[in-house]
């Protein structure tokens, strides 16, 4: 990709101030697919200056003008739909069918939803007491998105900012940078004024912190770990920014004996393994009424054994690898701890699946006889 080692600032692809770089690896092959630049505080400052300057005129744009831009963005997103899907399959290991049907489709679906919402939005409401309520753009928004659902989270943050007359600086996960850069190209081709949207690659402690602390950013929106979300909140508090957070979870499903056990347990296992288990709302725990535990275990084992692992670039309903070596090692450690603590493996276990010698593939694993912690 031509602009892989550049940042998108003030309507142009520019060389970074920082000389630090990072390799992007395909998690299925462990082969480098690119090298990106990692930004620093100087790069952040340049992007915020551009966004601040652009806000002075973009915030005065009409709803009709912003709708026209969003519809151009829709055209560009549809035209480069396959590019987005292929990028996410390569950079984070999503099977290509899922990359199209869920990951890339999120960019289209969310955009249409926000277009519909903006068309219905009244920018002025007259309240019952005669007061007038006016909706105005907040200002420059700092947006930080994760690696597990790259386009889903970018769309959910960038599009409403653009729709409401805000300008923004996006820091996507440095682990999934390619899809974000393609989206920056789409925004550019849609004709957004220079400085309205800016993109900087970098890590959380450097670029993320610089965004959160910057006095000219009025709002931070972050999706990621609880630890990092705490840091964003702490940094943003110094300048009393608005902050929205979507953090990690450990979601339980509760199974009672009077439900359709086969349907519910099978669906829970499938939903847990979806996206290779890398979703904040994955139902990673089943709390089961004891009277039906035996039947639930049988169904869960069948469902877990039926999960197919395969090459992300091939069509199908299989799952792909974890997104990097760190995640692979973390999951292996969790499985090992479960074994050491006396839990029973219902399916899966340590190591890669049989016949797999490279890539961050893991066996779909279910434990029973576990404590609720």
According to DSSP, residue 171 is labeled E
**pLDDT level of residue 372 (50, 70, 90 thresholds):** confident
Q: What is the pLDDT of residue 152?
A: 97
7-9 and 12-14 strand pairing: antiparallel
User: Cα–Cα distances in Å, from 37 out to 12, 178, 203, 342, 373?
Assistant: 16, 12, 10, 45, 39
Instruction: Answer whether residue 1 shows pLDDT above 70.
Output: no
Protein fold of 252-368: Aldehyde Dehydrogenase; Chain A, domain 2 (3.40.309)
Q: Are residues 325 and 360 in contact, defined by beta-carbon separation less than 8 angstroms?
A: yes
Pick the closest to residue 150 from 169, 188, 177, 168 (CA basis).
Answer: 177
What are the DSSP calls for 259-298, one per residue? S-HHHHHHHHHHHHHGGGG--TT---EEEE-GGGHHHHHH
**Range 223-233 burial, b when 16+ CB lie within 10 A, else e:** bbeeebbebbe
Task: Dump pLDDT digits (tens) for 181-223.
Answer: 999 999 999 999 999 999 999 999 999 999 999 999 999 999 9
Question: Could you tell me where in the chain the CATH 3.40.605.10 domains are found?
Answer: 7-247
Q: What is the pLDDT of residue 373?
A: 72
Task: Dump pLDDT digits (tens) for 17-30.
Answer: 989 999 999 999 99
**pLDDT level of residue 79 (50, 70, 90 thresholds):** very high
Task: Dump pLDDT digits (tens) for 105-152.
Answer: 999 999 999 999 999 998 888 889 989 998 999 999 999 999 999 999
Q: Are residues 52 and 142 in contact, defined by beta-carbon separation less than 8 angstroms?
A: no
Domain 7-247 top-level CATH class: alpha beta
Task: Dump pLDDT digits (tens) for 261-293.
Answer: 999 999 999 999 999 999 988 999 999 999 999
Quote the longest CA-to-CA distance of the chain. Answer: 71
**pLDDT level of residue 311 (50, 70, 90 thresholds):** very high
Chain centroid offset of residue 263 CA = 29
Q: What is the pLDDT of residue 144?
A: 98
Mean pLDDT across the stretch 322-333?
95
The pLDDT > 70 percentage for the chain reads 100
Catalytic residues: 246, 280
Instruction: Answer whether residue 45 shows pLDDT above 70.
Output: yes
Question: Could you tell me where in the chain the CATH 3.40.309.10 domains are found?
Answer: 252-368
32-37 and 21-25 strand pairing: antiparallel
Q: What is the pLDDT of residue 124?
A: 86
| Burial category of 22 from C-beta neighbours within 10 Å (exposed 0-12, middle 13-18, buried 19 and up) | middle
Q: What is the pLDDT of residue 243?
A: 97
Q: What is the pTM for the complete model shown?
A: 0.94
Q: Report the chain's mean pLDDT, rounded to a whole number.
A: 95
């Amino acid at each position: 990709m031509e602009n892989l080692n550049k940042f998108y600032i003030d309507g142009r692809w520019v060389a970074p101030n920082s000389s630090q770089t990072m390799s992007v690896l395909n998690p299925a092959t462990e082969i480098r697919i690119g090298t990106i630049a990692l930004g620093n505080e100087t790069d952040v400052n340049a992007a915020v200056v551009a966004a601040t300057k652009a806000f002075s005129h973009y915030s005065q744009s009409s709803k009709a003008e912003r709708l026209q831009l969003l519809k151009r963005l829709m055209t560009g997103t549809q035209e480069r739909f396959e590019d987005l899907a292929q990028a996410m399959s390569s950079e984070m290991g999503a099977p290509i069918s899922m990359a199209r049907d869920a990951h890339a489709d999120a960019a289209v679906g969310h955009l249409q939803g926000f277009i519909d919402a903006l068309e219905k939005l009244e920018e002025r409401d007259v309240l019952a007491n005669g007061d007038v309520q006016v909706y105005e753009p907040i200002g420059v928004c700092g947006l930080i998105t994760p690696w597990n659902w790259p386009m889903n989270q970018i769309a959910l943050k960038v599009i409403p900012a653009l729709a409401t007359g805000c300008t923004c600086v996006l820091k996507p996960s440095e682990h999934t940078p390619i899809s974000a850069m393609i989206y920056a190209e789409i925004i550019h081709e849609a004709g957004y004024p220079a400085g309205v949207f800016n993109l900087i690659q970098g890590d959380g402690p450097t670029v993320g912190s610089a965004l959160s602390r910057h006095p000219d950013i009025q709002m931070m929106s972050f999706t990621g770990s609880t630890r990092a979300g705490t840091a964003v909140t702490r940094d943003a508090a110094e300048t009393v920014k608005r902050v929205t957070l979507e953090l990690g979870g450990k979601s339980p499903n509760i199974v009672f004996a009077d439900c359709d056990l086969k349907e519910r347990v099978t669906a829970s296992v499938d939903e847990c393994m979806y996206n290779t288990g890398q979703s904040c709302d994955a139902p990673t725990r089943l709390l089961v009424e004891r009277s039906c535990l035996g039947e639930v275990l049988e169904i869960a084992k069948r469902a877990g054994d039926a999960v197919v692992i395969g090459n992300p670039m091939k069509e199908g309903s299989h799952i792909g690898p974890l997104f990097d070596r760190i995640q692979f090692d973390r999951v292996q450690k969790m499985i090992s701890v479960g074994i050491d603590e006396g839990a029973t493996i219902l399916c899966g276990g340590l190591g890669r699946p049989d016949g797999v010698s490279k890539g961050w593939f893991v066996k779909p694993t279910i434990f029973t006889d576990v404590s609720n912690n």
